[in-house]
């Protein structure tokens, strides 16, 4: 990052997070595939491991995934100002859009075509999130412990409907006690 | 001071909203509808349905919406900033700490286990989005196509793919 001056980097982060936020439909998770491709593969600001780390930590802390990811990414790349401006960037689209809707009292969200557009984007998001899951899955070096943890977490969340935060805590503790690291 | 009250209330909600999005509905409902009587039941449900189908994180959308209802644009800003500010500083603090922990063995074990759980969280997120929003086979089919294109074309910006699926949705749904 030394070759570019930091103002430029902050500006670039701002614009990335701004347009990513516009396309975040169905919750913060929608931004993950987009960010991975832009930050890791195109701009090479982060490597794959760093991105997975950011995503994992952001996911398990309180607060919206998007705010957490923007803060962590921004900080990791360029420090405090990167974190702050990335956060401001992702806040602008939702604030603008919701304020407009609040003023017009949802007249245009009732509009059938908009609903179809949003559903189409959501379908795309589901496809992309599945893709990024598969990519992360392939990259994980599975040992006996990780396979057991994967199966147990899956059962807890999908079969027993345990609150994900407890599954994260159980997983983290068992990892510290029994895991082997990467 | 209504604005200050809104700000502090959403600070509180931001910090207890673990897992983001859907996790905050019951919390917000309890606070804003049952305890404070800021919003009535029917309006709350309406706001949730809007927040879920508009761009942006669901919790942030809801905060903006409720804040706007209470005190216009200043209210919307107070609620949204309140909702984001504590997670921002917590995340920042954790980021600063974690950057230094890179070589720490215990942190590596912690992180590698959390990454496995996060895989399941991703599957769950995709499942919940599909189960909640897809009413027939067509969105599933579109998702499958998006999945294949996403995996095949590594250079494609995923946003263009989302624009394309959105436009296809307008035509075929």
Greatest distance between any 2 Cα atoms in chain A: 55
DSSP, collapsed to helix, strand or coil, labels residue B1 as: coil
Residue where one domain finishes, among candidates A106, A121, A139: A139
Give the pair of three-digit tokens for residue A81: 């100002």
Q: What is the pLDDT of residues A107-125, one digit of tens each?
A: 665 677 888 888 898 899 9
Count of positions (residues) in chain B: 173
Q: What is the pLDDT of residues B68-87, one digit of tens each?
A: 999 999 999 999 999 999 99
Helix-strand-coil percent breakdown of chain A, rounded to 5?
A: 80, 0, 20
In a domain, residue A58? The reply is: yes
In a domain, residue A155? The reply is: yes
Q: Please tell me the distance from the alpha carbon of residue A27 to that of residue B11, in angstroms, as a whole number.
A: 20
Tell me: do A102 and A175 sit in the same domain.
no
Q: What is the pLDDT of residues A149-167, one digit of tens each?
A: 999 999 999 999 888 888 9
Tell me: do A103 and A133 sit in the same domain.
yes
Tell me: do A118 and A29 sit in the same domain.
yes
Q: For chain A, how many structural domains are there in total? A: 2
Tell me: do A88 and A178 sit in the same domain.
no
Which of A65, A125, A172 lies closest to B110 in CB terms?
A172
In a domain, residue A122? The reply is: yes
What was the pLDDT predicted at A4? 61
What was the pLDDT predicted at A182? 67
Q: A33, B122 in Cβ contact below 8 A?
A: no
Residue contact B126–A21, C-beta within 8 A: no
Residues 123-162 of B with CB under 8 A from A: 123-127, 129-130, 133-134, 139-140, 142-151, 154-159, 161-162
Tell me: do A116 and A155 sit in the same domain.
no
Tell me: do A95 and A115 sit in the same domain.
yes
In a domain, residue A1? The reply is: no
Give the pair of three-digit tokens for residue B74: 């200043």
Any CB–CB contact under 8 A between B74 and chain A?
no
Whether residue A1 is predicted with pLDDT greater than 50 in this model: the reply is no
Whether residue A51 is predicted with pLDDT greater than 80 in this model: the reply is yes
Tell me: do A120 and A178 sit in the same domain.
no
Residue contact A37–B108, C-beta within 8 A: no
Residue contact A158–B124, C-beta within 8 A: yes
Any CB–CB contact under 8 A between A39 and chain B?
no
Mean of all residue pLDDT scores within chain A: 88
In a domain, residue A67? The reply is: yes
Residue contact A23–B55, C-beta within 8 A: yes
Q: What is the pLDDT of residues A82-103, one digit of tens each?
A: 999 999 999 998 889 888 888 8
Whether residue B158 is predicted with pLDDT greater than 50 in this model: the reply is yes
Tell me: do A93 and A17 sit in the same domain.
yes
Can you give the three-state secondary structure of A111-130, one letter per residue? CHHHHHHHHHHHHHHHHHHH
Q: Which residues of B touch A33 (CB under 8 A)?
A: 150, 158
What is the ipTM, given to two decimal places? 0.86
Residue contact A95–B164, C-beta within 8 A: no
Tell how far CA B8 is from the center of its chain.
20
DSSP code for A63: S
Tell me: do A130 and A145 sit in the same domain.
no
Mean of all residue pLDDT scores within chain B: 89
In a domain, residue A172? The reply is: yes
Tell me: do A150 and A126 sit in the same domain.
no
Residue contact B116–A140, C-beta within 8 A: yes
Tell me: do A102 and A181 sit in the same domain.
no
Give the pair of three-digit tokens for residue B45: 């449900």
Q: Which residues of B touch A150 (CB under 8 A)?
A: 116, 119-120
Q: Please tell me the distance from the alpha carbon of residue B84 to that of residue B162, in angstroms, as a whole number.
A: 26
Tell me: do A23 and A113 sit in the same domain.
yes
Residue contact B162–A95, C-beta within 8 A: no
Q: Mean pLDDT across the stretch A66-94?
A: 93
Domain span holding position A133: 6-139
């Amino acid at each position: 990052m030394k070759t570019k001056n930091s103002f430029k980097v902050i500006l670039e982060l701002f614009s990335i997070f701004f347009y990513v936020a516009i396309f975040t439909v169905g919750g913060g998770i929608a931004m993950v595939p987009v960010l991975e491709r832009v930050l890791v593969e195109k701009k090479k600001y982060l490597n794959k491991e760093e991105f997975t780390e950011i995503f994992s930590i952001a996911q398990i802390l309180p607060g919206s995934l998007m705010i957490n990811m923007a803060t962590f990414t921004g900080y990791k790349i360029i420090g405090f100002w990167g974190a702050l401006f990335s956060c401001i960037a992702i806040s602008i689209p939702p604030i603008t859009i919701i304020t407009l809707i609040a003023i017009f009292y949802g007249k245009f969200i009732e509009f059938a075509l908009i609903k179809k557009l949003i559903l189409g984007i959501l379908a795309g998001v589901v496809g992309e999130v599945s893709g990024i899951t598969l990519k992360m899955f392939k990259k994980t070096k599975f040992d006996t412990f990780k396979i057991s943890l994967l199966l147990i977490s899956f059962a807890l969340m999908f079969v027993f409907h345990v609150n994900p935060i407890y599954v994260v805590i159980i997983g983290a503790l068992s990892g510290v006690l029994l895991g082997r690291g990467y | 001071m209504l604005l200050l009250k809104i700000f502090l209330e959403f600070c509180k909600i931001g910090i207890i909203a673990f897992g983001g999005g859907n996790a905050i509905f019951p919390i917000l409902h309890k606070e804003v509808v049952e305890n404070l009587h800021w919003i009535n039941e029917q309006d709350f449900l309406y706001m949730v349905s809007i927040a879920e189908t508009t761009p942006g994180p669901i919790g942030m959308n809801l905060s903006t919406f409720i804040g706007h209802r209470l005190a216009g644009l200043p209210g919307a800003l107070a609620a949204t900033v309140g909702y984001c500010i504590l997670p921002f500083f917590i995340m920042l603090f954790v980021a600063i700490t974690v950057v230094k922990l890179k070589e720490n063995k215990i942190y590596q074990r912690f992180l590698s286990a959390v990454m496995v759980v996060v895989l399941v969280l991703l599957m769950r997120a995709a499942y919940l989005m599909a189960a909640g929003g897809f009413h027939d086979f067509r969105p599933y089919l579109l998702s499958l196509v998006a999945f294949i294109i996403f995996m095949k074309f590594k250079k494609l910006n995923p946003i263009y793919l989302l624009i394309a699926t959105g436009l296809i949705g307008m035509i075929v749904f």
